[in-house]
Amino acid sequence: MEDSWSRKKPASNDKLDDEQPETPTSLDRAPTNVPRPFSYRELAKATNNFSVQTNKLGEGGYAVVYKGQLKNPDRFVAIKNFKLGKSATDRRKAFEDEIKVISQVRQRHLVELVGWCIDEEKDIVSLVYELVSEGSLHDHLHKGRSWLPWSRRYQIILDLGCALRYLHGECTGCILHGDISASNILLDSHYVAKLADFGLSRLMDHAIELKTTCNVAGTPGYIDPDFINIGKRSRESDVYGFGIVLLETVTGRSPAAAAVDPTTVSPLLKWVWGIKNSGAVLEASDPRLKHDSTRDEQEQMERVIQVALWCAHTDPAQRPSIKEAMRALESTNVAIPPLPLPGFMHGPSNLVADDMSCETSDSVVSPAASRA
């Protein structure tokens, strides 16, 4: 599902229906809305009875998302219905996993939770989010929704970095998002970026690692090769995805085509490393951006590419923390360390041809293609 939304409410397995939302303790320009429970009738009325023809926004493996207009509060929303076709246990777990994480956070660059619905009689569980009006970064970069000049792209990059910095170190515990991708970055009416889709997110203690998993999940092209190898999510995996989004934003190219194996290194990353290796980093930027930008902006683009390659290095030990990456993006006084060549550059095809494998593509797998 290309546009997806996600966010809040703690869950114990047995008492979720009866619990009331807690006021978050960490606020950063917090929304005035306090999430609340909704009845199925309210949501059905808001969505023209969940009309597929007029209100459906997207669909993934675990949920269908509808546009709705609420009366209390009076606002447009995105309603994420967890699918009836899934077993009740699987559906409830997906709902609880997502809401458990979102209940811990609130920040202006995270999509805001408006409420939730649990209707045992209808066998429905739903999450209700703010509707972010300008769609996803993916839509603008690859589907012609609008042209984003460099100044706007750079601010989107900083907005995403702020969201990730908050999740990794400024909220209670540490949140691993698990699926940083252009389709999960939504833009509001002022083109402020908001990170969405917490379906793969996990809450962890700052000093404790998560257990390994045999499920490789995420958006092809953005998945950390190290996660594929060891099966553990980490801050470094989110930083890798951040780096890939930076490359995508500067180059205007998609990190994966439909035919690309989701477990392989992004062809975009290989292509940019090939250009860097030739000594002309700025040549990786979108030609239209270079044509319309000042010399200072071009230097900024080059620096973003360097930070992106740092973040998306295939060796996690070489990657910065999100705080280090943001310092390097925000100040030219912060040095970017020399980077060793990644493993794929030592093979016989160490330079990647400029072909359609990393061109923009409407058929790129969307962030929630297997789950929503």
Q: What is the pLDDT of residues 220-273, one digit of tens each?
A: 889 898 776 666 778 999 999 999 999 999 999 999 755 456 667 889 999 999
**Token pair for residue 69?**
């207009």
Selection from 314, 311, 333 nearest residue 249 by Cα = 311
User: Residue type at 297?
Assistant: E
Positions marked active-site = 179
Mean pLDDT of the chain: 80
| Phi, psi at 71, each rounded to 5° | -100, -30
Question: How many other CB atoms sit within 10 Å of the CB of residue 220?
Answer: 23
The stretch 20-44 carries a mean pLDDT of: 65
Between these two residues, 169 and 67, which has the higher pLDDT value? 67
The residue to which tokens 């998993």 are assigned: 213
Number of helices (H), then strands (E), in the chain: 10, 10
Instruction: Report pLDDT for 26.
Output: 41
| Phi, psi at 176, each rounded to 5° | -100, 120
Q: Hey, is 22 helix, strand or coil?
A: coil
Q: What is the pLDDT of residues 204-230, one digit of tens each?
A: 544 444 444 444 466 888 989 877 666
Contact 69, 55 (CB under 8 A): no
Min mean pLDDT across 18-22, 47-51, 195-199, 322-326 is at 18-22
- Does the pLDDT value for residue 16 go beyond 50? no
